[in-house]
Structure 1
Amino acid sequence: MAVDGTAALTQTVAAEEATILDAWLSLLKASGALQTGRIRQVELDSQTRMVLEQLRGSLAAAGTDVGADAYAALRDTLAEVSRSRAVQGFTPTDTANFVFSLKEPIFDALNRTVGKDPAAVAKGTWAASHLLDALGLHTMEVFLASREEVIGRQGQEIAELSTPVVRLWDGILALPLIGTLDSARTGVVMENLLLAIVDEEAEIAIIDITGVPTVDTLVAQHLLKAIAAARLMGADCIISGIRPQIAQTMVHLGVELNVVSKATLADAFALALRRTGRTVVRKQPSITSTAS
Structure 2
Amino acid sequence: MNRADASPWIETLVESHDEVLELWIGNESKLLPQRGLASAAEIRDQCSALLCVMIEALQKSNSFDADDAAWAPVRAHLAEVSTRQARRGFSAMETATFVFSIKAPLVAHARRLIGDMSSLSALIRSLSLLIDSLGLHTAETYGRSRDEIVRRQQLELLELSTPVIQLWPRVLALPLIGTLDSSRAQIAMENLLHKIVATGAIAVVIDITGVPAFDTLVAQHLLKTVAAARLLGAKCVISGMRPYTAQTIVDLGIDLSQVVTKSTLRDAFVVALNWARRAAMTQ
Distance 1:146 1:186 in 2: 27
1:206 aligns with 2:205: yes
Q: CA deviation at 1:57?
A: 2.1
Code of the aligned partner of 1:111? R
Unpaired stretches in structure 1, ≥5 consecutive residues: 279-292
Per the alignment, residue 187 of structure 1 pairs with 186
Q: CA separation of 1:124/1:213 partners in 2, compared to 1, >3 Å: closer, same or farther? A: farther
CA spacing shift, 1:107–1:186, aligned 2, 3 Å? same
* Partners of 2:126 and 2:74 in 1: CA distance: 17
Deviation sequence 1:213-269 (CA, Å, 0-9, x none): 323222222222111100111211111123445444444444444422222211211
In structure 1, the residue corresponding to 2:166 is in which secondary structure?
A: strand
- Name the CA distance, whole Å, in 1 between partners of 2:94 and 2:244: 47
Opposite residue 184 of structure 1, the aligned amino acid is S
Tell me the equivalent position of 2:152.
153
Q: Does 1:28 align with 2:31?
A: no
Q: 2:283 aligned with 1:272, yes or no? A: no
Q: 1:133 to 1:275 in 2, by over 3 A?
A: same
SS of alignment partner, residue 34 of structure 2 = coil
CA contact (8 A) 1:9 1:127 kept: no
SS at match of 1:271: helix
Which amino acid in 1 is paired with 2:232? M
Q: 1:94 aligns to what SS in structure 2?
A: helix
Q: How does 1:107-186 map to 2 (within 5 A)?
A: 107-114=107-114, 116-117=116-117, 119-186=118-185
Aligned to 2:51: 52
Q: Any conservation in 2 of the 1:171–1:204 contact (CA below 8 Å)?
A: yes
1:14-65 superposed Cα distances (whole Å, 9 cap, x missing partner): 445434322221222111x123333332222112112112212212321212
* Mapped partners of 1:244, 1:121: distance in 2: 81
For residues 111-170 of structure 1, the C-alpha deviation after alignment (integer angstroms, 9 at most, x for no partner) is: 3333651x3343222211211122112222222222223223322332222222222223
Q: Which amino acid aligns with 2:261?
A: S
CA distance in 1, matches of 2:234, 2:152: 31
Is contact 1:9-1:128 (8 Å) kept? no
- Residue deviations 1:161-203, cap 9 Å, x none? 2222222223321111223333333332222212222333322
What secondary structure does 1:22 align onto? helix
Aligned residues: 273
Matched with 2:196 is 197
Contact kept in structure 2, 1:180 and 1:213, CA below 8 Å? yes
What's the TM-score once normalised by structure 1's chain length?
0.82
Distance between the aligned counterparts of 2:26 and 2:275, measured in 1? 73
Give me the whole-angstrom Cα distance separating, in 2, the residues matched to 1:97 and 1:56. Answer: 19
Q: Equivalents in 2 of 1:161, 1:45: separation in Å?
A: 39
Q: 1:10 to 1:49 in 2, by over 3 A?
A: farther
Question: Percent identity of the aligned residues?
Answer: 45
- For the pair 1:65 / 2:53, whether they are aligned, the reply is no
Task: Report whether the alignment pairs 1:76 with 2:76.
Answer: yes
Matched, 1:260 2:257: no
Contact residue 202 and residue 275 of structure 2 kept, 8 A? no
Task: In structure 2, list runs of 5 or more residues that go unmatched.
Answer: 279-283
Q: 1:250 to 1:22 in 2, by over 3 A?
A: farther
The worse-fitting range, judged by mean Cα deviation, of 139-148 and 90-99 is 139-148
Q: Answer with 1 or 2: which has the greater Rg.
A: 1
4+ aligned runs moved over 6 Å, structure 1: none
**SS of corresponding position for 1:67:** coil
Return the letter of the residue paired with 1:153.
Answer: R
* Structure-2 change in CA distance of 1:180 and 1:107 (3 Å): farther
Q: 1:218 to 1:6 in 2, by over 3 A?
A: farther
The residue aligned with 2:281 is none
Give the structure with the larger helix fraction: 2
Q: Which residue does 1:289 correspond to in 2?
A: none
Distance 1:7 1:127, change over 3 A: farther
